[in-house]
């Protein structure tokens, strides 16, 4: 699974144009992560993103704004782990949350999360050395839960093989989609990496 997370502040093209480009590249899911917006502005962008996803057969995921997600008919929602602890949203087919440890992973699964995003796979403070400090934690927590876990944090196509070799369900990438005019190349690189991993197993 390849998930594209948005960030309008780093978008290479005008944000809606970038969303359209990413949707046409056909990742498995797009998470509209513009959580700093007022609900009305988020809703306007969510309607646009959802429509682009539907045109291209991509799963749309709203972030944070549970009421907006219900209003526009979104079936997938991402909420913070702390918010999941407070109240589990009802009426969604898939509930995503981001976790940082095996303990959080276990609790999130018990609370009702159906897909986990593990952050900090790569050391963001050391981009030049690309130290994958989180891979050992990722491998460990995969054995703690029965739901899919994807890796996130500093991930670009050059590390797809390394992350996928941990048996994760996929990757979640932000900058690799927002700072390129060719998101289709990133999707293709992921598909090729996935094929190579399958042949190795």
Proportion of the chain above pLDDT 90, given as a percent: 79
- Structural tokens at position 160: 């797809």
Over residues 2-43, the pLDDT tens digits come to 999 999 999 999 999 999 999 999 999 999 999 999 999 999
CATH of 2-200, one of 3.30.43.10, 3.40.50.2000, 3.20.20.70, 3.50.30.50: 3.20.20.70
- Structural tokens at position 197: 């991993």
Confidence of residue 128 (pLDDT cuts 50, 70, 90): very low
Q: Compute the distance between CA of residue 199 and CA of residue 159 in angstroms, rounded to an integer.
A: 18
Predicted confidence (pLDDT) at residue 127 exceeds the cutoff of 70: no
Over residues 131-167, the pLDDT tens digits come to 556 888 888 889 999 999 999 988 888 889 989 988 8
Q: How many C-beta neighbours within 10 Å does residue 75 have?
A: 14
Nearest alpha-carbon partner for 32 in 62, 53, 12: 62
Exposed e or buried b per residue across 151-161, where buried means at least 16 C-beta atoms within 10 angstroms of its C-beta: bbbbbbbebbb
């Amino acid at each position: 699974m390849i998930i594209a997370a948005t960030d309008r502040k780093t978008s290479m093209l005008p944000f809606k144009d970038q969303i359209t480009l990413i949707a046409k590249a056909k990742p498995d899911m797009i998470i509209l992560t513009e959580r700093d917006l007022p609900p009305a502005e988020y809703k306007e962008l969510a309607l646009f993103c959802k429509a682009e996803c539907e045109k291209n057969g991509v799963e749309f995921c709203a972030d944070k704004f549970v009421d907006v997600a219900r209003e526009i008919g979104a079936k997938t929602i991402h909420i913070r782990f702390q918010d999941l602890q407070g109240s589990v949203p009802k009426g969604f087919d898939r509930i995503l949350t981001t976790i940082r440890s095996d303990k959080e992973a276990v609790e999130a699964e018990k609370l009702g999360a159906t897909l986990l995003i593990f952050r900090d796979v790569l050391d963001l403070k050391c981009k030049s050395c690309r130290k994958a400090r989180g891979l050992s934690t990722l491998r460990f927590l995969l054995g703690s839960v029965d739901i899919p876990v994807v890796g996130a944090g500093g991930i670009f196509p050059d590390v797809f093989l390394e992350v996928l070799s941990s048996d994760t369900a996929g990757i979640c990438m932000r900058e690799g989609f927002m700072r390129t005019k060719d998101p289709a190349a990133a999707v293709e690189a992921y598909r090729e990496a996935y094929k190579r991993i399958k042949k190795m197993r």
